C-alpha cells in the first residue's frame, strides 16, 4: 500500500521556509553500505535491499540524514547550511506500515554547536506544536557525549566503553551489557580453528576464515554483518569476557543512568553525581550547560524538557545530543533527532563538518490530527 501524502504538507513546507532552510530532494534508491555501516543494528534489520545491474548493493531510502549528508558532500556545498526535506522512507516490520513519510531539518557546519542543538529542538517543537495545537508536548533529552565521558572517567577498558556506547540507544542491549560487566557469562566454546585465531588476536586471518565459511554456507555478507565486523566482534567479546567491573564503579554507572530531572535542574544533578563518584566530566558537562542556556534563550518552556541520563536513540552515528518529542499519553514519539559530528567525515567529506538534525514521523502526527 502506498503511503498517503500528508494533507498538511503545505503547513510543514511553510514552517521550513520561515526558518530559512533549503528544501532538498534525494533519490529513493540509495547505496546500502553507508546505512549498513553507520545507521545501527535496529535499522540494519529493517532495510529493503536490492542490487544494481552491476552488482552494487542498493536499498530503498530508510531515513534522510545519511542521504542528505551524502548529497551535501557530492555537491561540495559550503557551510553552514540548513537543509529541509519531506518524503517517503521505507522500513521492514514497522508498525503502521513499511512505507511512510518523514519531514525534518539537517543543520550542517554551524560553528556554535550549542545554539544549533537548541535551534534543532526548538524547530522540531514548533513544528509539532503547529501541527497539533493545544497538545501536551514533552521533550526528552539524552547526551551520548556525557555518557561516554562517564564511562571514560570511571576507568572502563576501551573495549567496554565501545560496547556500552553502542548499546546506549537500546535499553535491552544496555541492560544486557551491564549484566555481563557485573558477572561475565561463560561463553560456549568456539570451534578450535576459530578459537586459535581469536586468542591470537589475528583479525585479518580471522576475517578471511569467516568469509570463507560464509561462502561455503552460501551466506551473502550483506545479509548481516561483514566478515571484518564479525571478526572484530569475536575478538572483542573474548577480551571483554575477562573483565569484571569493580562494585563501586558499577554502582556509580547505575546511579548515573538513573538520573532523570527537568532540564533546568539537570546540570546540578550531573555535578552532584560527579562529586559523589569522585570523577570529572570536564568538557562534556560544560557543553551540556551551554546547550541548556541556549535552549532557554530559544524560548522553549522549561516545564516541557526533561533530561534522562539513560536515554539514547538506536542510530550509531550520534555523538552528543539526542532527543525525542512526544505527546502526553502516547507511547510512540512524533519526532526524534540528535548530533552527529563524525558522520560526514565517515561519508567522505574532506574536512570535519559538525551536524545536528531531526525527523518527524508524519503518519503518527496524522493519526493524532484525526487523519488516516
Residue 209 pLDDT > 80, yes or no?
no
Phi-psi category of residue 98: left, alpha or beta, with phi > 0 → left and psi -120 to 50 → alpha: alpha
Q: Are 252 and 154 in contact (CB under 8 A)?
A: yes
Residue 347 pLDDT > 70, yes or no?
yes
Q: Which three cell numbers stand for residue 71?
A: 548529497
> What is the pLDDT, as a whole number, of residue 138?
96
Helices (H), the chain: 9-18, 33-38, 41-44, 65-74, 113-131, 144-153, 158-167, 171-182, 192-200, 203-216, 227-240, 247-257, 263-277, 282-297, 343-346, 362-368
> What is the pLDDT, as a whole number, of residue 238?
59
Question: Is the pLDDT higher at 213 or at 56?
Answer: 56
Residue 26 pLDDT > 50, yes or no?
yes
* Percentage of residues of the chain with pLDDT beyond 70: 87
For the segment 79-91, what is each residue's pLDDT rounded down to a tens digit?
Answer: 999 999 999 999 9
> What is the pLDDT, as a whole number, of residue 360?
98
Q: Are 16 and 8 in contact (CB under 8 A)?
A: no
What are the angstrom distances between the C-alpha of 347 and each of 65, 70, 141, 351? 11, 7, 26, 11
pLDDT band at 141 (very low <50, low <70, confident <90, very high): very high
Average pLDDT over residues 70-97: 93
How far is 144 from 313, CA to CA, in rounded Å? 9
Question: Is the pLDDT higher at 352 or at 179?
Answer: 352
pLDDT band at 37 (very low <50, low <70, confident <90, very high): confident
Average pLDDT over residues 146-159: 90
Average pLDDT over residues 285-309: 92
pLDDT band at 202 (very low <50, low <70, confident <90, very high): low
> What is the pLDDT, as a whole number, of residue 372?
37
**What backbone torsions phi and psi does residue 292 show, to the nearest 5 degrees?**
-60, -40
Residues 6+ away with beta carbon under 8 Å from 316: 38, 39, 40, 41, 166
pLDDT band at 40 (very low <50, low <70, confident <90, very high): confident
How far is 361 from 327, CA to CA, in rounded Å? 13
| 3-class state of residue 261 by DSSP | strand
Residue 63 pLDDT > 70, yes or no?
yes
Question: Of the given ranges (98-112, 221-235, 280-294), which has the lowest mean pLDDT?
Answer: 221-235
Residue 96 pLDDT > 80, yes or no?
no
Question: Is the pLDDT higher at 244 or at 361?
Answer: 361
How far is 295 from 332, CA to CA, in rounded Å? 24
Question: Can you say whether the dihedral through the CA atoms of 176, 181, 186, 190 is positive or negative?
Answer: positive
Q: Which three cell numbers stand for residue 311?
A: 536515554
The full set of domains in the chain, from first to last, is 9-149+257-368 (3.30.930.10), 192-240 (no CATH)
> What is the pLDDT, as a whole number, of residue 184?
63
- Average pLDDT score over the chain: 88
Residue 36 pLDDT > 50, yes or no?
yes
Please, what is the end-to-end C-alpha distance for the chain in angstroms? Answer: 13
> What is the pLDDT, as a whole number, of residue 371?
42
Residue 200 pLDDT > 80, yes or no?
no
The winner for highest mean pLDDT among 45-59, 154-168, 210-224 is 45-59
- Closest by alpha carbon to 168, among 345, 319, 325? 319
Residue 247 pLDDT > 90, yes or no?
no
321-327 and 355-361: which strand pairing? unpaired
Residue 221 pLDDT > 80, yes or no?
no
Average pLDDT over residues 165-172: 87
Question: Is the pLDDT higher at 162 or at 306?
Answer: 306
335-339 and 355-361: which strand pairing? antiparallel
Q: Are 116 and 356 in contact (CB under 8 A)?
A: yes
How far is 317 from 322, CA to CA, in rounded Å? 11
Q: Which three cell numbers stand for residue 1?
A: 500500500
**What backbone torsions phi and psi does residue 323 show, to the nearest 5 degrees?**
-155, 155
How far is 354 from 343, CA to CA, in rounded Å? 8
Amino acid at each position: 500500500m502506498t503511503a498517503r501524502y500528508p494533507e498538511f504538507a503545505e503547513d510543514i513546507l511553510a514552517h521550513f521556509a520561515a526558518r530559512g532552510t533549503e528544501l532538498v530532494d534525494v533519490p529513493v534508491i540509495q547505496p546500502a553500505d553507508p546505512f549498513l555501516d553507520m545507521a545501527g543494528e535496529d535499522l540494519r534489520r529493517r532495510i529493503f535491499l536490492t542490487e544494481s545491474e552491476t552488482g552494487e548493493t542498493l536499498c530503498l531510502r530508510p531515513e534522510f540524514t545519511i542521504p542528505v549528508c551524502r548529497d551535501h558532500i557530492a555537491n561540495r556545498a559550503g557551510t553552514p547550511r540548513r537543509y529541509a526535506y519531506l518524503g517517503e522512507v521505507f522500513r521492514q516490520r514497522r508498525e503502521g506500515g513499511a512505507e511512510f513519510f518523514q519531514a525534518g531539518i539537517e543543520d550542517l557546519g554551524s560553528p556554535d554547536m550549542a545554539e544549533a542543538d537548541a535551534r534543532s529542538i526548538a524547530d522540531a517543537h514548533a513544528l509539532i506544536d503547529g501541527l497539533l495545537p493545544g497538545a501536551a508536548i514533552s521533550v526528552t533529552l539524552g547526551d551520548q557525549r556525557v555518557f561516554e565521558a562517564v564511562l571514560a572517567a570511571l576507568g572502563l577498558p576501551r573495549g567496554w566503553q565501545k560496547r556500552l556506547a553502542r548499546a546506549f540507544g537500546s535499553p535491552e542491549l544496555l541492560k544486557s551489557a551491564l549484566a555481563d560487566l557485573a558477572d561475565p557469562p561463560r561463553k560456549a566454546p568456539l570451534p578450535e580453528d576459530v578459537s586459535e585465531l581469536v586468542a591470537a588476536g589475528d583479525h585479518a586471518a580471522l576475517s578471511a576464515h569467516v568469509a570463507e565459511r560464509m561462502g561455503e554456507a552460501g551466506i551473502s555478507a550483506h545479509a548481516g554483518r561483514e566478515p571484518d565486523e564479525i571478526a572484530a566482534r569475536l575478538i572483542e567479546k573474548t577480551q571483554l569476557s575477562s573483565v569484571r567491573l569493580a562494585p563501586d564503579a558499577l554502582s556509580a554507572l547505575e546511579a548515573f543512568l538513573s538520573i532523570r530531572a527537568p532540564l533546568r535542574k539537570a546540570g546540578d544533578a550531573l555535578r552532584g553525581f560527579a562529586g559523589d563518584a569522585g570523577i570529572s566530566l570536564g568538557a562534556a558537562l560544560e557543553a551540556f550547560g551551554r546547550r541548556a542556556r541556549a535552549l532557554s534563550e530559544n524560548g522553549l518552556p522549561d516545564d516541557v524538557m526533561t533530561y534522562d541520563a539513560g536515554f539514547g536513540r538506536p542510530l550509531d552515528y550520534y555523538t552528543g545530543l539526542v532527543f525525542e518529542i512526544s505527546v502526553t499519553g502516547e507511547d510512540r514519539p512524533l519526532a526524534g533527532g540528535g548530533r552527529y559530528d563524525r558522520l560526514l567525515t565517515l561519508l567522505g567529506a574532506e574536512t570535519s563538518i559538525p551536524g545536528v538534525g531531526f525527523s518527524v514521523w508524519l503518519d503518527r502526527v496524522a493519526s493524532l490530527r484525526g487523519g488516516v
